Amino acid sequence: MSNPLADMQKPEVIFCIGTNMTECHPVAATGIKKAIAKGSKMIVADPRRIGLADLSHLYLPLRVGSDVALLLAMAHVIQREGLANNDFIETRTKGIQDFLNHIEAFTPEWAATITGLNPKDIEAAAILYASANRSAIYYTLGITEHICGVDNVQSLSNLALMTGHIGKEGTGLNPMRGQNNIQGAGDSGALPNNYPGFQSVLVPEHQAKFEKQYGRKVDLEKGITKVAALNQCGNQIRAMLINGENTLISDPDRHHCQQALESLDHLVVIDIFLTETAELADVVLPATAFAETDGTATNTERRVQRLRAAVSPPGKAKPDWWIIAQMAQRLGLSNFDYQHPKAIFNELCRLSPVYAGLNWERIEDGQYQWPVPEVGHPGTPVLHQDEFVNGRGVFKITSYRDPHETISNEYPIWLTTGRRLTSYHTRTQTGRSAGIDYLLAEEALEVNPNDMKEWGLTEGEWYYLSSSKGGVKIRVRATKKSPPGTVFASFSFSDVPINVLTGGGYDPITETAELKVCPVKIEPVYNR
């Protein structure tokens, strides 16, 4: 996030797109609710009528996968209406003229043919966002889990650059992270293209730094994504370590995932429970849970925090860092003789410029948000206040393109996926909590009531839901949350593996799967 969570209460206008925050980030969403109670206006763009839509000033029920079209048209309106922040553009950005030439053709009327929205609503959204003194954008996986995920994010960035709604309080471009330490994982180098602290692996100076630290030759080339790794299983890759991820349930194209993992000579899984993925492993190493672990986490607003064990771990469970360090030592690797997470965190601070002013003792109270470039620095709650990392913000040229697969006579219904408030991810943890099933005992396909009638579906009955990848049995449930022609399901339940259906396309840059758009059909079970 470019701005702290406290800033959620400060915008005049809040633009939420591709984020079901009240279900996926319910605690953070209280900031949005407080802002609205104080008079802030909110624009919500989402195919489903999620909880945020009921709180919004303007709701945009766009067709799944059409975000770029909406955002291009909003940029067009901002320029047409003279609402661009020319001072900010001139002093803080580059590439504006090519961008303005590009968006000239993308009218609200053009976007309406793709998004299904009223052109007047597109205009209203653009004017509302651009004309406020402080506007903030919030997004989640509804933006990134597309073949055009990078284009979606860059299109949002273009809006922030056009209006100057970035680098100051109550503004910004704010992705809401899906797990408590996903930001910290990226900070620590769990990315194929970066060393810790987002230092590119392609830069020789960075290479030299880490070669010196670890005493090993480091290649000047990017690593591979998990998608690529799964594709190489059984060939270039013969063994795999999976740490804290239920790949078989959460990754797209389940059949491919299972085949890939089963083709390995050796699979090791580190996890707190025997997940569906762990059941495929040759070795399962039991890890400690959050309340049994000392360490650190960096949350979605870049706040660096201490974690403290409240109870002793059961049985032979060990912290993830200890397990990995022990494996490294047995592989003959040096500099893995850690005795405490303090040593690991202090090493990160020595190697990462954004953590350079921190150490184990300084994060005792969780007061710092990176970057903290030097000792005595107060931290940086708001990014990009004076300049961008590369000096100037760059306008990116994006264009609308259809999802990898579109609806057809064979698969005439749009399926979109997401999370539910009553379960957490693949229910590795919440599915083992006694008493929670009364809130949500099983997965159901959410269908618009009019579609239920038109398609001859019966509430609560089982049907066969299929795509070009495969099919699952699932009950149906009528709800006005789903727009006509679009259905919804989550990945929460292993007995209804929705990821059997998904995985047709991937973003060419990030290799993120298109989980939010999947053409499907619904048939009676007896036909199968």
For residue 339, which amino acid is it? Q
Would you say 57 and 42 are in contact if contact means Cβ atoms under 8 Å apart? yes
Would you say 42 and 16 are in contact if contact means Cβ atoms under 8 Å apart? yes
Is the pTM here over 0.85, yes or no?
yes
Mapped onto helix, strand or coil, the DSSP state of residue 359 is coil
Would you say 368 and 349 are in contact if contact means Cβ atoms under 8 Å apart? no
pLDDT of residue 193: 93
| 5-176 carries CATH number 3.40.50.300 | no
pLDDT of residue 527: 64
Q: What backbone phi and psi angles, to 5 degrees, belong to 72?
A: -65, -45
Q: Residue 287 has what DSSP assignment?
A: B
Tens digit of each residue's pLDDT (9 = 90 or more) over 269-318: 999 999 999 999 999 999 999 899 999 999 999 999 999 999 999 999 99
Nearest CA-CA partner of 167 in 89, 251, 75, 99? 89
| 182-355 carries CATH number 3.40.50.740 | yes
Would you say 55 and 41 are in contact if contact means Cβ atoms under 8 Å apart? no
- Angle, in degrees to the nearest 10, between helices 67-80 and 96-103: 110
The verdict on whether omega for the bond into residue 371 sits within 30 degrees of 0, i.e. cis, is yes
Tens digit of each residue's pLDDT (9 = 90 or more) over 222-259: 999 999 999 999 999 999 999 999 999 888 888 999 99
Q: How confident is the model at residue 208 (pLDDT cuts 50, 70, 90)?
A: very high
At a CB cut-off of 8 Å and minimum separation 6, what does 97 contact? none
Rounded-to-integer distance, Cα 401 and Cα 148, Å: 8
Would you say 282 and 257 are in contact if contact means Cβ atoms under 8 Å apart? no
Tokens representing residue 106 in the block? 């993308």
SS (H, E, C) 387-452: CECCECEECCCCCCCCCCCCCCCCCCEEEEEECCCCCCCCCCCHHHCCCHHHCCCCCEEEECHHHH
- Angle, in degrees to the nearest 10, between helices 119-131 and 108-115: 120
Secondary structure element (H or E) that encloses residue 42, with its range: strand 41-45
Rounded-to-integer distance, Cα 480 and Cα 414, Å: 15
Domain ranges of the chain: 5-176, 182-355, 413-527
Q: How confident is the model at residue 422 (pLDDT cuts 50, 70, 90)?
A: confident
Asked if residue 55 has pLDDT above 70, the reply is yes
Tens digit of each residue's pLDDT (9 = 90 or more) over 115-150: 999 999 999 999 999 999 999 999 999 999 999 999
Tens digit of each residue's pLDDT (9 = 90 or more) over 354-380: 999 999 999 999 999 999 999 999 999
Assigned architecture for domain 413-527: Beta Barrel (2.40)
Would you say 55 and 27 are in contact if contact means Cβ atoms under 8 Å apart? no
